[in-house]
Chain A
């Protein structure tokens, strides 16, 4: 349709309206088209990645076992005030749960769950269920006769507490705290504290690794940025080759280098620095983790740092020199401040990657070089305490996301660069 203009040269009101309508319609179409392009991947990531993680987050407070597999006693305990031993009806409910649960072979699940709260609960429950023939009315007497612990009020408090479908107990556990049967929360005895210590170790070792990558990455990036393009490109291969090499390959070669019968020890013995009997233990401990991870993460520091350093005009340093600054002053007061964005981008990237590491600490870390990731894997695969694994995972995730938020503020999402 043609646009008609009235005598004053302005568009008539109807025309203005129509044009505005056309414009917004076309903008809306463009918007929809852009959304349609992004939609498939967003949906894919939501389903295959975000939901699974969300599902795991729920598991950190989810508490279905006792509630599902001992339904009668859970229901009956709701009206119990916890002041003195429950009455016969509650014992009868327990007897019903134990007998039915044994038949359905589900009682073990509830027993295992209760055992996380207090060790000994599993044997109490499975032991009683095994003697199901002896469970007869009056149940209170009969159950206490089978296992004395049924006469202990704390046993009941634990069942009541664990019977709730939502629990904070995994988080309490993950923070190295204990909850008394009455619901009071306090720190576990020093010797039983595992997770906070492990978190702390993960953080400080990651900081150490980050610091090492800055220390080693800065001079190399500086050199690469100041060399002519051709030479720099060739030397860059030495950075990119490790970057592209399989993580497992790099980790296994560090085992070959650092183990007591390995290359570095052989070299030191051959040089006479140490005697053959006094070979140094450099792997399967914290040193192994720090060395191997520094090597693995170093390219993640060098690449962003190099790309920032290349944009720093050399004339500033020259100007500082010509104004009488010493080499050091010119470098420290003029050059370094301009590379801070690169250092912080690299450092945060290395730190984020580092605190979530699992493979390398598991292979070369031994006992003292283990990270929180290894503990999560342990609870997932060995102890099967999935709720606790999920709670530890939530803590780690919160930490990573907080640091990443910082990263995006410092660097900006769009500037994440690879290679």
Chain B
């Protein structure tokens, strides 16, 4: 969309004005993500740039908040908990979600609308309501304040993403491939692992990453149903921001941004690969 050569001065002004507005919006989007990176190296316990930082004085920068993060038992414990919970809930939600998506994409399934609505409800219902409900119910079952309770809760919250991404991949899936497999004498299981699985793998993996991120970032339900023993990283951050906000939070935040960059890159690579396989782009 370049300026055409016949454009008048007004159009030209509008063209550049529009670009300028967009640049400002992009700055609004990205600044909060970028700004925490240098701040996490601040030697002072402030949330703002000191004069030394602006003049690039090396003494104004330090790694002490990272050191604090990596040596603090509480933070290390919370990472361990987050990894445990995220790992199991991702596996569970990916498995359950993928199988359900396979069923949902079959035309024979009755009441499809209702089932779909039910399955994506964890994404729609406000987290605070889910958290309150789970608090009562899981306490009654005796699984609140346990890893099991938290894993089940996070699994429920993660499945809609898997269902949506895998159904999307399956909607472009050519079912004649399965019939071709069958006509060539393959068993349904064999066809599934050799034909279907490789083709929907990209959707499964992006769904899994969404589920992983959901669990890794989830704090509302965790506050309500996890005990001190299961304190996850978002819970630790939440407590930190509410009580005394220390730059250690920013160090953690920077690490999380790095993690989200990795995730984002993976999902994008997968998406392109999937488009290529299906011959879209």
Tell me the A residues contacting B by CB distance below 8 Å: 27, 30-31, 33-42, 44-46, 48-56, 59, 216, 219-220, 223, 226-227, 229, 235, 237-242, 244-257, 259, 261-263, 266, 295, 298-299, 327, 352, 355-359, 362-363, 373, 376-377, 380, 386, 389-390, 393, 396-397, 400-401, 404, 408, 413-414, 416-419
Contact = CB atoms under 8 A, between A and B. Distances in A.
B106 interface: yes
A59 B108 contact: no
Say what secondary structure dominates the interface of chain B.
Answer: helix
Contact of B118 (A30, A45, A252): A45
Contact of A242 (B30, B97, B245): B30
Interface stretch (B57-65, B70-78, B252-260): B252-260
Contact of B100 (A38, A227, A240, A418): A38
Nearest to B1: A226
Nearest to A416: B164
A389 B126 CA distance: 14
B264 A389 contact: no
Given A34-B106, A41-B97, A261-B47, A48 B153 contact: yes
B271 A419 contact: yes
B116 A241 contact: no
Given A52-B137, A266-B49, A380-B135, 6 more contacts: A56-B136, A239-B29, A241-B257, A241-B264, A248-B217, A263-B48
B230 to A, nearest CB: 16
Interface of B: 1, 11, 14, 18-19, 21-22, 25-26, 28-33, 35-36, 39, 46-49, 96-97, 99-100, 102-104, 106, 108-110, 113, 115-122, 124-130, 132-138, 140, 152-153, 155-156, 159, 161, 163-165, 167-168, 171, 206, 210, 213, 216-217, 219-220, 224, 234, 237-238, 241-242, 245, 249-250, 253, 256-257, 260-261, 263-264, 267-268, 271, 281
Contacts of A377: 128
A219 B18 contact: yes
B29 A363 contact: no
Contacts of A261: 46-48
Contact of B234 (A39, A246, A257): A246
A223 B49 CA distance: 33
Given A42-B100, A227-B1, A241 B260 contact: yes
11 contacts: A38-B99, A45-B118, A49-B121, A53-B133, A246-B234, A249-B257, A250-B32, A250-B33, A363-B242, A397-B129, A419-B267
Contacts of B249: 252
